[in-house]
Amino acid sequence: MTEDEQKQAAAAKAVTYIKDGMVVGLGTGSTAAKMVDLVGEKVAAGLKITGIPTSEATATQARNLGIPIVGLDKVSIIDLTIDGTDEVDPQGRLIKGGGGAHLREKIVASLSDKMIVIAETKKKVDQLGAFKLPVEVVQFVAPALKPRLEALGCTPELRLTKDGTPFVTDEGNYIYDCDFGKIDDAESLALTLSTMPGVVEHGLFIGFADTVIIGTDNGIEVIEI
């Protein structure tokens, strides 16, 4: 299977977990977009769900497909969230935020009874860290935070858009993509980043994934964490 087919297969398996009446967190990114398309088809065929989008892009896609969506001001418990990832390790720990939506994605995942992660096979890694860790920071403190992030042992690069201006998240923040190399102690790094004033959120998702669905050359692999 091509990478695109692997993503599609993982998305197709994940939507079989959605039942009538559920509140469903809708992830962000190219894999999640395939899942949202499939949810749209199910809704058109009569499925009744309430969607909680994890980004403005996903909200727009869901609206266009006729999926009913609400914000977190209306719903505090989410039955199931389905989202993509940039890396997943054997313990189900993730690096997310390649699409810059990890702040809302983590909040939605944290309010969910179950999180299903969907990905193509190359996202499965033995150790996290080949993908640069996205760290979302408040704009005005970004320059001052750079040396502090470097002091943690990484090379932070301010994420830029195609026209060379800083990428701004849905919540109005900047992102440093931080090259730590292989991350030996993800828990400790997550804690350090979470307690750093000016850091809004980082892309380490530890203890969130319940089920990981990987599209592979030979079909799908379902891993229960």
Half-sphere exposure for 116 (CA within 13 Å, toward CB): 24
Q: Shortest approach of ligand 5RP to residue 96 CB, angstroms?
A: 3
Distance between CA atoms of 144 and 148, rounded to whole angstroms?
7
Identify which of residues 20 and 104 has a Cβ nearer to ligand 5RP in the complex. Answer: 104
Residue 132 DSSP code? P
Taking the complex as a whole, the smallest distance from the CB of residue 99 to ligand 5RP amounts, in Å, to 3
CB-wise, 83 or 89, nearer to ligand 5RP?
Answer: 83
- Nearest Cα to Cα of residue 53 among 45, 42, 65, 177: 65
Write b or e for each residue in 66-96: b if 16 or more Cβ atoms lie within 10 A of its Cβ, otherwise e: ebebeeeeeeeebbbbbbbbbbbbeebbbbb
- Which residues contact ligand 5RP by CB under 6 A? 27-32, 83-86, 96-102, 105
Nearer to ligand 5RP, 150 or 171 (CB): 171
For residue 34, the minimal CB distance to ligand 5RP (Å) is: 8
The least distance separating ligand 5RP from the CB of residue 85, rounded to whole angstroms, comes to 6
User: Of the two residues 6 and 145, which places its CB atom closer to ligand 5RP in the complex?
Assistant: 6
Strands 133-137 and 199-202: antiparallel
DSSP three-state, residue 119: strand
Q: Kindly list the catalytic residues.
A: 105
Half-sphere exposure (CA, 13 Å, Cβ side) for 151? Answer: 8
Residue 27, C-beta contacts closer than 8 angstroms, at least 6 positions apart: 35, 54, 58, 81, 82, 83, 84, 105, 118
Choose between 125 and 148: whose C-beta lies nearer to ligand 5RP: 125
| Minimum separation from the CB atom of position 147 to ligand 5RP (A) | 26
If phi over 0 gives left and psi between -120 and 50 gives alpha, with beta otherwise, what is residue 211?
beta
Please measure the distance between the N-terminal and C-terminal CA atoms of the chain and give it in whole angstroms.
25
